[in-house]
């Protein structure tokens, strides 16, 4: 399939089916859409609608049952687990709702980790810069259990950005935070994304957070049921 030069993500008729004790369960059905380079897209919907499953497929954390996903021109649907991991390390940042920080590492060390895995020689310098960007330079030597939920999420955001990924995925990035911390993290996420020119795909049930994105994809029952586009710039979804 030919991709246009500014297409970062392309999906065609992707499905996800899992086996359960009661038989096969269809989680996603016939999902098709494109995301442009630098675009921010929110996938919204109720719990159980399939939005987190879709995010995992787009990030290469799981494989489709059928269909095609192209990530920056690479066919994710044709890659094995090791190849998908390599592609994620090169192009993707991921922010988890539960933070997923390594408890035995300090804030600075947690942020350094993806850069070290990628073999970047300036991992520590990048991590120190990232900590400063998220306002946590004074917490560099603190461990996750010494940080508040808001601080842990800010560390997780810094970690996701450290390799300067082309694409950032965020799964309910404010889901475990109170309103005040959620607002701080929201501003930080979009400010950093704008500065880096990263393509942003986030999953959320928070309509206020979703409204900051260029476009919203509404999911229901494993399908993209509707599309709400930015009033500023209309974009076309195939």
pLDDT at 133: 87
Q: State what percent of residues in the chain have pLDDT above 90.
A: 61
* pLDDT digits 0-9 by tens, 95-144: 988 889 999 999 999 999 999 988 889 999 999 999 998 889 999 999 99
Residues 14-20, mean pLDDT to the nearest whole number: 93
* pLDDT digits 0-9 by tens, 57-104: 999 999 999 999 999 999 999 999 999 988 988 899 999 888 899 999
| Domains, the chain, ordered by start | 37-63+78-229 (3.40.50.300)
* pLDDT digits 0-9 by tens, 212-224: 999 999 999 899 8
> Alpha helices, DSSP H only, in the chain?
51-58, 81-91, 107-117, 123-133, 149-161, 179-196, 207-210
Going by C-beta distance under 8 Å and a sequence separation of 6 or more, which residues neighbour residue 207?
44
Report the distance separating Cα 86 and Cα 225, nearest Å. 33
């Amino acid at each position: 399939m030919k991709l246009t030069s500014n297409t970062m993500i392309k999906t065609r008729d992707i499905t996800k089916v899992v086996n359960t004790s009661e038989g096969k369960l269809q989680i996603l059905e016939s999902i098709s859409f494109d995301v442009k380079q630098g675009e921010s897209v929110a996938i919204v919907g109720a719990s159980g609608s399939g939005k987190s499953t879709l995010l995992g497929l787009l990030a290469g954390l799981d494989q489709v049952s059928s269909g095609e996903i192209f990530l920056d021109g690479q066919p994710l649907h044709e890659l094995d687990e090791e190849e998908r991991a390599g592609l994620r390390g090169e192009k993707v940042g991921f922010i988890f709702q539960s933070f997923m920080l390594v408890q035995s590492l300090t804030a600075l060390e947690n942020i350094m980790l993806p850069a070290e895995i990628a073999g970047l020689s300036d991992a520590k310098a990048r991590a120190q810069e990232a900590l400063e960007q998220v306002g946590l330079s004074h917490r560099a030597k603190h461990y996750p259990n010494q940080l508040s939920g808001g601080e842990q999420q800010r560390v997780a955001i810094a970690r996701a950005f450290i390799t300067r990924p082309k694409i950032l995925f965020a799964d309910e990035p404010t889901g475990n935070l109170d309103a005040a911390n959620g607002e701080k993290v929201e501003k930080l996420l979009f400010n950093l994304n704008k500065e880096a020119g990263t393509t942003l795909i986030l999953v959320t049930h928070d309509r206020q957070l979703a409204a900051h994105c260029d476009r919203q994809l509404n999911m229901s029952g494993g399908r993209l049921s509707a599309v709400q586009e930015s009033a500023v710039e209309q974009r076309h979804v195939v």
